[in-house]
Amino acid sequence: MAHSFILWLHGSGGSGPAYEHIRQLFSSSPEFNNTKWSFPTAPSSPVTCKGGAIMSSWFDIPEVPITAKTVRDEKGVLEAVQNVHAMINREVTAGTSPDNIFVCGFSQGGALAVASVLLYPKTLGGGVIFSGSVPLTTSIAEQISLEARKTPILWFHGMADETVLFEAGQAGCNFLQKIGMSCELKVYPDLDHSLLDDELQYFQSWIKVRLKSS
């Protein structure tokens, strides 16, 4: 059985295998010897902001850039969340403790990661959001269990991001803090809509200190 589980969710138009190199960053730390990774690829569907083009997408995106006020297809988001919860539940059934499960993602994958953590009934090890947003309206707050509110969140966002504006990341983190969650926001003034090695190094150390020994 895996001692810990890290689920990585890619952005729209991307694929799971394109991010598998991230696992290599963790290979030098013995704490991750018994970590299972999963890099699923989203199903293909038409995406409104791309003129209805068919691409890998966890749910529809109405517009870009994503702002603090962008309204998403909540039905699609909630269906995608159910699929993520099924992946988490498979690992829990196989014997991995929920507090050693981390849900992470970039861009649309980050939005799905935060929604999945908020609506999961138990406390997880953590959620790590790279250049993401909260894809649900604040009315979702009443559906977030006390256990879910104990899951810590690490949020990375670049101020030069023109795809998911920094205001969307900042509003997302503020919302989480307002409902009593721990959300650490790491801001990069010159970062656009991409990943930095510095983010990934911090991501690795953040998860390492939160791993619970078996």
Q: Considering 56, 57, 107, 133, which one is annotated as catalytic?
A: 107
What residues have CB less than 8 Å from 98, skipping those under 6 apart? 88, 92, 120, 122, 123, 124, 125
The total of structural domains in the chain comes to 1
Q: Are 7 and 103 in contact (CB under 8 A)?
A: yes
User: Domain containing 126: what range?
Assistant: 4-210
CA angle 89, 78, 149 (to 5 degrees): 65
Per-residue model confidence as pLDDT tens digits over 138-177: 889 999 999 999 999 999 999 999 999 999 999 999 999 9
Determine whether 182 is an active site residue. Answer: no
Tokens 């990661």 label which residue?
113
CATH of the domain at 77: 3.40.50.1820
Per-residue model confidence as pLDDT tens digits over 60-100: 999 999 999 999 999 999 999 999 999 999 999 999 999 99
Determine whether 107 is an active site residue. Answer: yes
pTM of the model: 0.97
CA dist 128 → 6, 8, 202 (Å)? 10, 9, 11
In angstroms, rounded to a whole number, what is the distance separating the alpha carbons of residues 154 and 130? 9
Q: Are 132 and 195 in contact (CB under 8 A)?
A: no
Determine whether 214 is an active site residue. Answer: no
In angstroms, rounded to a whole number, what is the distance separating the alpha carbons of residues 136 and 153? 16
